[in-house]
Amino acid sequence: MSLNLRRVMLVAVLCLSTGTCVGSGVSSPDALNHGRRNITDGQTLVSAGGSFTLGFFSPGAPSRRYLGIWFSASMREAVVWVANRDNPLNDTADVLVINGAGILHLLDGSSRAAWSSNTTDGDTPSAAVAQLLESGNLVVRDESSGAVLWQSFDHPSNTLIAGMRFGRNPQTGVEWSLTSWRSPDDPATGDCRRAMDTRGLPDCVSWRGGAKKYRTGPWNGLWFSGVPEMASYSDMLTNQMVVRPDEVAYVFNGTAAAPFSRLVLSEAGVIQRLVWDADRRVWPVWDVCDDYAKCGAFGLCNVNTASTLFCGCVVGLVPVSPAHMREASAGCQRKAPLECRDGGATTDGFAVVSGVKLPDTDNATVDASATLEECRARCLANCSCVAFAAADIRGGGGGSGCVIWFGDIVDVRYVDKGQELYVRLAKSELAANKKRGSMLKILLPVMACLLVLMCIFLVWICKFRGMRRKKDIQAKTILGDENIELPFVSFRDIVTATNDFSKENMLGQGGFGKVYKGMLEDDTEVAIKRLSKSSGQGVEEFRNEVVLIAKLQHRNLVRLLGYCIHGDERLLIYEYLPNKSLDIFIFDDASKYVLDWPTRSQIIKGVARGLLYLHQDSRLTIIHRDLRSSNILLDVDMSPKISDFGMARIFGRNQQEANTNRVVGTYGYMSPEYAMDGAFAFSVKSDTYSFGVLLLEIISGLKISLPHLSDFPNLLAYAWNLWNDGKPMDMVDSSIVDNCSPTEVLRCIHIGLLCVQDNPNNRPLISKVVFMLENEATPLSTPRQPVYFAQRNSEAKEIGENTTSSMNSMSLTVLEGW
């Protein structure tokens, strides 16, 4: 059913149920006026085109009722505005009314006002109407003059949608800012706020309490300088910065064919762009350099560095404390002090730092009419000036306008399509930089000649020492100096074994590429994984698989028999498992009957033992990070084997937790602290969370996303509600419910809920999970309600550095730097 048809049907149902049809002589279903002066709980307003709905809802406890506006197709999942966010109603006797003065009042069952609109002072209108517009804006206006008395767009909560202003009025100090919800099911004002800083160039800043958390970088005429990706979405959005004496505001609008999208300030203080559409789109991901002032004064953050030392210094400066550059809190200092004699013209100059997000403009001045050369002269003439840059890059070239910084510059990082920042240095340091540049001009040709000679030498090796040597060099380049005790299989042998990768031999396909069945010369059946060139799994993931699995031996881990590197080809040769993967059985209406309860119990325990080996009993401590049903393979006896170690990470023996600057894994199976925390922390408890999701899927035969159960956002919500209502057996797969052991099943459900606790400290270690599964007399603690439902009405989807989160109807939780 198309979205427009669903909207028309929704409007029709509301028309018939409320008696407020257009043309009925009473009222339109989008307005409160003379014919309809109130809305009670259970009634709604629907915008003329059906895009938005206003009504009462409960995001968490049913006893807390809120008045809000949501995108109609989302069934209250995409709430864009809440009236009484800090004052919930506790019954369903509430009502929204509009009085003769055009003021909206939200009243509870005792006629107590839980919220009122602060309608503009002025002459009392002869007749006022409140109307929900197709834009999602609730507007109160004077019917006779058409003047707007109040509108919800002037009072954002945690969401910005097309047409809304985000900024402030410099004359009155009025702000149009975002404040986070307290939690995913509590709309009350949270700790985080996103506001427009207008002290220099307009800059969007996130705050947690009184501390800056993130800023976009100043507006440069086209985009915020730290978010060049904004220009890439021109097919969906248009961006505008309004600068007037009474308004400095950012506004985005959707293009004609664009799906509904919104910017949401999360409870962690991170802006997310959520798109309600079947399209798969990749959005920027939060990284370590987005933390405000990560590298201190005059520091320069580079997330693309090969090392983990993200912080460096702008040209001409050195670390204040080189030993602590990993934390970078101390920042950088000058090698040579500025002299600033004769206005600085003869003693100082400027070095260019290219491709950066411009520094915080709190301590900057702006002149939009100045040229870049005038900006340079002004900076030299002021001894306090430390840097300058163009204010507007729309004209091309070096840009126009002038931004001048005084004192320290902070929060500078490299970005794609970044701007040029001119940093003031002493002439002596400029001369030293010039000398170093001259040396490079001499060294580069010499290095080029050496490189050519090296290439000739390598060609000689390939020609006269054989292709085997070439393969060894290529393998070492990719796999490093690891001592790989694993056979190298030639590409020719693999082509023969798979009948030239024929369709008849293909076993399956995933985000990594395709898997083929093959027969080696010794009549060994194998499964050959051929990594696609367009796969998100690259050299690092391939190396992970070869290095890790080759060193692991356990009955519940898949065995890697060999590997192949041939040009751009990357191939892995595994033992062949005839029953393929677990998801083929538990989610298929016909095949699920093959897995009776004893078999499912065996699979649950086998996966747990495999994880215990990875976490505790192997020579290495390994976090899998992508445990899911499609990565559990089944042998001829239906014994489980954990596979796909491309995302895995090795821990030190005493290491409990680590951070990463990118999220990898599969939505739905990822733990909250890993998927949503700005630091992207993961630990052995991350695998425990994934195991809990997998356990509940095995018992219920339902996917984590529950696409066909509209009453619940995902399987965790469904399982918890049944558990809390004393009906956990209702979730058991119909194929096993009559022949299973209720005691064993209920214990497994209980353990699964313990594994998916939001707080990792409340989850058991996998060693405790194995003990609880194998010792039925062991008492179990009481689980708490899991409130993290990151995957609402969506299919679980593997993600990596360049992968989109896949949804039934929404691209979800992809962190945009705006």
592-598: average pLDDT: 93
What one-letter code names the amino acid at 4? Answer: N
Sheet (strand 113-116) strand order? 38-40, 95-98, 104-107, 113-116
529 annotated as ligand-binding = yes
241-256: average pLDDT: 93
pLDDT of residue 23: 31
Distance in angstroms (rounded) separating the CA atoms of residues 673 and 680: 7
626: nearest Cα among 749, 796, 768: 796
Residue 173 CB contacts under 8 Å (≥ 6 apart), including other chains: none
Q: What percentage of the chain carries pLDDT values higher than 70? A: 78
Sign of CA dihedral 754, 759, 761, 767: positive
- Whether 714 has a pLDDT exceeding 70, the answer reads yes
- Whether 462 has a pLDDT exceeding 60, the answer reads no
Tokens representing 194 are: 């996103």
At residue 365 the predicted structure's pLDDT band, cuts being 50, 70 and 90, is very high
Strands 260-265 and 159-161: antiparallel
Tokens representing 496 are: 């023969």
Residue 195: how many other CB atoms lie within 10 Å: 18
- Whether 726 has a pLDDT exceeding 80, the answer reads yes
Distance in angstroms (rounded) separating the CA atoms of residues 21 and 35: 11
Q: Which of 172-176, 335-339, 700-704, 801-805 has the weakest average pLDDT?
A: 801-805
- Whether 431 has a pLDDT exceeding 70, the answer reads no
pLDDT of residue 632: 95
Residue found under tokens 């490189």:
451
Distance in angstroms (rounded) separating the CA atoms of residues 700 and 692: 12
Q: Give the highest mean pLDDT range of 18-27, 107-116, 283-292, 783-792.
A: 107-116
**Helix/strand/coil for 203:** strand
pLDDT of residue 668: 83
pLDDT of residue 337: 87
- Whether 446 has a pLDDT exceeding 70, the answer reads no
Distance in angstroms (rounded) separating the CA atoms of residues 92 and 62: 10
Q: Give the highest mean pLDDT range of 57-61, 100-104, 676-680, 766-770.
A: 766-770
Q: Which of 142, 203, 290, 626 is catalytic?
A: 626
Q: Which residue has the higher pLDDT, 175 or 91?
A: 175
pLDDT of residue 433: 58
Distance in angstroms (rounded) separating the CA atoms of residues 329 and 289: 13
pLDDT of residue 99: 86
At residue 620 the predicted structure's pLDDT band, cuts being 50, 70 and 90, is confident
Active site residue 626: yes
What backbone torsions phi and psi does residue 426 show, to the nearest 5 degrees?
-70, 150
289-316: average pLDDT: 83
Asked if residue 366 lies in contact with residue 403, where contact means CB atoms within 8 angstroms, the answer is yes
Q: Which residue has the higher pLDDT, 8 or 380?
A: 380
284: nearest Cα among 678, 818, 815, 790: 815
Residue found under tokens 């239906």:
638
Query: What would the pLDDT profile of 533-588 be if each residue is shown by its tens digit?
Result: 655 555 666 777 777 777 788 899 998 888 888 888 888 999 999 898 999 999 99
- Whether 592 has a pLDDT exceeding 80, the answer reads yes
- Whether 810 has a pLDDT exceeding 50, the answer reads no
At residue 731 the predicted structure's pLDDT band, cuts being 50, 70 and 90, is very high
DSSP per residue over 429-451, as a string?
A: HHHHHHHHHHHHHHHHHHHHHHH
Q: Calculate the average pLDDT of the chain.
A: 81
Q: Which of 49-58, 118-127, 459-468, 590-599 has the weakest average pLDDT?
A: 459-468
Side-chain-side CA neighbours of residue 797 (13 Å):
24
590-594: average pLDDT: 90
127: nearest Cα among 102, 104, 150: 102
Query: What would the pLDDT profile of 87-138 be if each residue is shown by its tens digit?
Result: 999 888 889 999 888 899 999 988 899 999 976 655 677 788 999 999 999 9
Query: What would the pLDDT profile of 463-509 be if each residue is shown by its tens digit?
Result: 544 444 445 445 555 555 555 667 889 999 999 999 999 999 998 87
Q: Which residue has the higher pLDDT, 203 or 709?
A: 203
What backbone torsions phi and psi does residue 596 show, to the nearest 5 degrees?
-75, 180
50-57: average pLDDT: 95
Distance in angstroms (rounded) separating the CA atoms of residues 699 and 604: 9
- Whether 659 has a pLDDT exceeding 80, the answer reads no
pLDDT of residue 447: 72
Query: What would the pLDDT profile of 391-426 be if each residue is shown by its tens digit?
Result: 999 887 788 999 999 999 999 999 988 999 999 998
- Whether 599 has a pLDDT exceeding 70, the answer reads yes
Q: Which residues of 351-378 are buried (b: 16+ CB within 10 A; e: fewer)?
A: bebeebbbbbbbbbbbeeebebeebbbb
What's the pTM value of the predicted model, to 2 decimals?
0.55
pLDDT of residue 278: 40
Query: What would the pLDDT profile of 189-221 be if each residue is shown by its tens digit?
Result: 999 999 999 988 999 999 999 899 999 999 999
At residue 1 the predicted structure's pLDDT band, cuts being 50, 70 and 90, is very low
pLDDT of residue 4: 39
Helix orientation angle between 742-755 and 766-774, rounded to the nearest 10 degrees? 170
3-state helix, strand, coil in the chain (%, to 5): 25, 30, 45
Category of 399 on φ-ψ map: left (φ > 0), alpha (ψ -120 to 50) or beta: left
Tokens representing 183 are: 């939690």
Asked if residue 390 lies in contact with residue 401, where contact means CB atoms within 8 angstroms, the answer is yes
- Whether 780 has a pLDDT exceeding 60, the answer reads yes
Query: What would the pLDDT profile of 141-162 be if each residue is shown by its tens digit?
Result: 988 888 999 999 999 999 999 9
